[in-house]
Structure 1
Amino acid sequence: MSKKKRVFDIDFEEVDVTKEATVPAGTERRGPMAAAITENAEALNARQSAEAAIRQENDALAHEHVRLKKAGLITDLVPLDAIRTDKLVRDRAPGRDPEIDELKQSIKEIGLSNPIRVEQVGDVFELIQGFRRFTAYAELFEETGDEAFARIPAGINAKGENLLRLYRRMVDENLVRRGVSFGEMAQLAINYRKQASDIEGYDHAVELLFASSGRQKRSYIKHFVRLLSATEGRIRHVDAIPRALGLQLVRRLDEDADAGSMLNRMLGAEEGRTAEQEQALLSDFAARYAAPAAKKVSLTPKARAAKTTFRLNRPGGDAKCTVADGRIELRLEQDFSGVERKKLEAAVEAFLKALD
């Protein structure tokens, strides 16, 4: 039987299977599992990088928010019923401000151009600046019921701001307000002194609060502080006292040690008086209890009394002392008009005791 011929007769080159297959340089042979692990690691790195970038951006935004808040530049719509007005004692005279109606009309027509300032304390906000604006919004909401007036634009200050800075802001804002009186400014200094236990006296309070004002103006305020302190809150309309009358009253109190008690009896006898009636009462007191006329100077020359003068060097300025028969005079660059009477009496008593 003849041998059957194959249809496809292919000659294969002999290969040595004992030799390892060569892999081109720079490439690695990886299985499916290794490739998956590598891809997962690359994805994880990319995700971590993205998260780090987001965290960095969030940190930058948080720091910027804190900076703006400290500067009082964060503004929000704050509900009226979440605002308290008792943190700072206002210098407002009792009764309704007649200029509120004009402010309300302006708010209705063009809105509030200058936000109030508040400090957040827990769930409530303490009013720092803008009492008139807050009052106008509250009246508008009560009159109209419009929810647009239920919230007021407010700059939110950082917590724990220094009390002096808060009062200074209110003072400087009110100094540009038309019609603010010396009595109102004096009352504000008294209120601040009561709250700030580290303030030495009323004079010091005036110097701190009204540092932006001139020296003469601060002197007038100190005189009104003395008047309000001497009358112990019996003056009902401090905003209505003219400057000249206030200064005249202080001179009367200085000239007569009993004048203060007399004035207080007059004020206490007439309760419920109007501003006009109170001003008439004060003017009458200043006229009735004026100092007696100066005695005529004798033409007979008197023997010149011996006199001693010397100076004392002090950190706050030199003190000039003049000593004569029955008289000791002390001159300093300091206004003693605002120093409390008890403190002055104690100082003089200690001085005289040291001479005994």
Structure 2
Amino acid sequence: MTKKRRVFDIEFDESAAAVPAGTAETRRGPMATAITENAEALTARQAAETAIRAENDALAHEHVRLKKAGLITDLIPLDAIRTGKLTRDRAPGRDPEIDELKTSIRSIGLSNPIRVEKLADGYELIQGYRRLTAFRELFEETGDAQFAKIPSGLNAGGEELQKLYRRMVDENLVRRGVSFGEMARLAMAYRAEDPNVESYDRAVELLFASSGRQRRSYIKLFVRLIGQIGDHLKYPEALPRALGLNLLKRIDEQPAQIRQLAAVLASEPDRSAEDELRLLNGFLSAKAARPKTVAQKSAKTTFRLSRPEGIAKCTAADGRVELRLERDFSGLERQRLEAAVQAFFDSLDAADRG
């Protein structure tokens, strides 16, 4: 008789059961393997993206820091740069030193970039008017593409007007030939543009804070001079310091002479800077018309007396008696001098009573 097989008898593979669950030998299906690999790839990609974002943030912060410090430079097209925001402390006409600068740029390039401020549709020049002018002339003369763009330091936008002027002033103070007339006109222009500056003197103090007190004092005097006769001058930037100060002194003493000075300058409307200096010097050389005063004559008595020491010169006038004699009176005792003077006055009084 055969034994019946139970319905629930299950045969196990002994070799598979011999491997404990959870060990490296556990079998995994294709789906589980794919899920694991995708998860690992996603984790790695997220870590890479996080590292990239951190690096980009660090670079952005560094860029902002360098830009605020004015250390970011770029090649900017010449026609994208404007020069109208700041009044330049420049004499009208072409700067004769531009040719030397152009020769240097041709030979070794531009050593010091200009400085600009970014606008919505271009750039505004802050420093480097002569360098920009040299590049523009070189490009116009040669058509060379290397002069079509100029190396420029990028200033952070929104900088205060005072700081912008100070940057320009401090750069130009080390340049030769900046006259007191140019500096005075710049201070006057700055005050006109900044409503927070209450006076011309304050404008000078702010803009030329790096200069010595004496220089600032001269600039203030030239501000006064140009304020009074500036409309009559064609070349205030050509005024030497001494000539300007002498003109101001003459006008302060006799304000009515401004009309005479205006007439002198108007006599040569097409004058050059040299002609204007000649006219101004001639104006100062001419004797000013001064009102005549009647001198009050006072009675005076003079006589001489023979003394053992020599001749004593005596002068008597209203309120004054003077005695001159070749003798050292400083060695006499004070009491003796007082007694002698007292005796002198007593003798005069006695004569009046007699």
Normalising by the smaller structure, the TM-score range is 0.7 to 0.9
Superimposed CA distance per residue, residues 79-136 of structure 1 (whole angstroms, 9 cap, x where no aligned partner): 1111111111111101111111111111111111011111110121111111111111
Q: For residue 85 of structure 2, give the secondary structure of its aligned residue in structure 1.
A: coil
Give the match for residue 198 of structure 1.
Answer: 196
Q: Which runs of 5+ in 1 are unaligned?
A: 1-14, 303-356
Q: Any conservation in 2 of the 1:202–1:222 contact (CA below 8 Å)?
A: yes
Instruction: Look up the match of 1:48.
Output: 46
Q: Are 1:17 and 2:11 matched, yes or no?
A: yes
CA distance in 1, matches of 2:208, 2:50: 51
Q: Contact conserved, 2:230 with 2:236, CA < 8 A, in 1?
A: no
Kindly indicate whether the alpha-carbon contact (under 8 Å) linking 2:116 and 2:127 is maintained by their aligned counterparts in 1: yes
Partner of residue 225 from structure 1, selected from 223, 226, 239: 223
Tell me if the contact between 1:141 and 1:150 (Cα under 8 Å) persists in the aligned partners.
yes
1:114 and 2:112 matched: yes
Q: Unpaired segments of 5 or more residues in structure 2? A: 1-8, 299-316, 321-354
Residue by residue, what CA displacement relative to the aligned partner does 1:304-342 show, whole Å, maximum 9, x if unpaired? xxxxxxxxxxxxxxxxxxxxxxxxxxxxxxxxxxxxxxx
Letter of the aligned partner of 1:169 in structure 2? R
Instruction: Tell me the equivalent position of 2:89.
Output: 91
Alpha-carbon distance, 1:258 to partner: 1.7
Distance 2:12 2:180 in 1: 112
Q: RMSD value over aligned CA atoms?
A: 2.6
Change (3 A) 1:301 1:243: farther
Q: 1:292: Cα distance to partner?
A: 4.7
Indicate how the Cα distance of structure 1 residues 47 and 110 shifts in structure 2: closer, same or farther if over 3 A, else same: same
CA contact (8 A) 2:181 2:237 kept: yes
Given candidates 155, 160, 163, the residue that maps to 2:161 is 163
Which residue is equivalent to 1:174? Answer: 172
Name the CA distance, whole Å, in 2 between partners of 1:209 and 1:300: 57
State how 1:289-328 maps to structure 2 within 5 Å: 290=288, 292=290, 300=318
Q: Which residue is 1:280 aligned to?
A: 278
2:102 is matched with 104
State the partner residue of 1:207.
205
Structure with higher RCO (Cα < 8 A, 6+ apart):
1
Count how many residue pairs are aligned between Structure 1 and Structure 2.
Answer: 288
Change (3 A) 1:300 1:236: farther
For residues 204-257 of structure 1, the C-alpha deviation after alignment (integer angstroms, 9 at most, x for no partner) is 000001101111110001111111111243311122111101001111121123
The secondary structure found in structure 1 opposite 2:232 is coil
| Higher deviation after alignment, 130-139 or 284-293 | 284-293
Q: CA offset at residue 259 of structure 1?
A: 2.6
Q: Is the 8 A contact 2:181 2:239 kept in 1?
A: yes
Task: Determine the C-alpha separation between the residues in 2 that align with 1:223 and 1:300.
Answer: 44
Map of 1:247 onto structure 2: 245
Give me the TM-score of the superposition, normalised by structure 2: 0.75
Question: Aligned-pair distance for 1:264?
Answer: 3.2
User: Given the alignment, which residue of 229, 233, 236 partners 1:235?
Assistant: 233
Cα pair 2:115 2:154 within 8 Å, conserved: yes
Residue 29 of structure 1: how far off its partner (Å): 5.2
Three-state SS of the structure 1 residue aligned to 2:86 is coil
Q: Give the structure-1-normalised TM-score.
A: 0.75
Is the Cα contact below 8 Å between 1:252 and 1:291 reproduced in 2?
no
The one-letter amino acid paired with 2:79 is: D
CA distance in 2 between counterparts of 1:157 and 1:301 reads 75
C-alpha distance in 1 between matches for 2:40 and 2:146: 54
Q: Distance in 2 between matches of 1:72 and 1:250?
A: 42
Secondary structure in structure 2 of the residue aligned to 1:230: helix
Find out whether 1:256 has 2:250 as its counterpart.
no
Alpha-carbon distance between aligned partners in 1 of 2:215 and 2:319, rounded to the nearest angstrom:
42
Letter in 1 for 2:36: T
Distance 1:293 1:95 in 2: 43
Q: Give 1:262 shift.
A: 3.3
Does the Cα contact within 8 Å between 1:252 and 1:289 map onto a contact in 2? no
Quote the offset at 1:32 in angstroms.
2.3
**Contact 1:255/1:291 (<8 A) preserved:** no
Tell me the CA shift for residue 151 of structure 1: 0.8
How far the C-alpha of 1:269 sits from its partner, in A, is: 4.5
Partners of 1:93 and 1:263 lie apart in 2 by 22
Return the offset for 1:284.
2.2
Q: Displacement, 1:19?
A: 10
Q: CA contact under 8 A between 2:87 and 2:186: conserved in structure 1?
A: yes
- Provide the secondary structure at the position in 2 that maps to 1:272: coil
Residues in 1 aligned to 2:62 and 2:287: alpha-carbon distance in whole angstroms: 63
Structure 2 Cα separation of the partners of residues 269 and 282 of structure 1 = 12
